[in-house]
Amino acid sequence: MRIVSGLCAAALFLVALPADSPAQSVAQVNTIEVAADEVDAYVAGMKKMKVLYEQLLPTVEMRIWRTAIGGASSGLLTVVTEFESMEAWAAGTATLSAHAGYQPLIEELQATGRVMVSASIVSDITP
């Protein structure tokens, strides 16, 4: 529920943006905890999700990172999905959520016992 609230807050942020503000690329960053014996199943499910993204949102880049050295966070997975702008994120999220194939993929990922540790929307401020 907390994660949904955070993403809803990001959507509200989108509405609050001035109309003349320049588009900044944004990324949705999800940190996931998956049991070691379920990582392969989770990655297989994410491979299917990536195919869906490529079909529906071809300009979106998705990558999965595994924390290798990070103390207590070692072994966590981070899914980074990059969008051209906050507007593209909002439209893309709506497109995915409405697609008939999306919810079954989410259920497949949930069957791995994954735990969503955090979800954030970050914007690129690289000079």
Average pLDDT over residues 38-52: 97
Q: Is the predicted pLDDT of residue 87 greater than 80, yes or no?
A: yes
> What is the token pair recorded at 90?
């909002």
pTM: 0.77
Tens digit of each residue's pLDDT (9 = 90 or more) over 51-71: 999 999 999 999 999 988 767
> Given strand 26-33, what is the order of strands in its sheet?
61-66, 77-83, 26-33, 115-123
pLDDT bin (cut points 50, 70, 90) of residue 84 is very high
Asked: is 2-123 a CATH 3.30.565.10 domain? The reply is: no
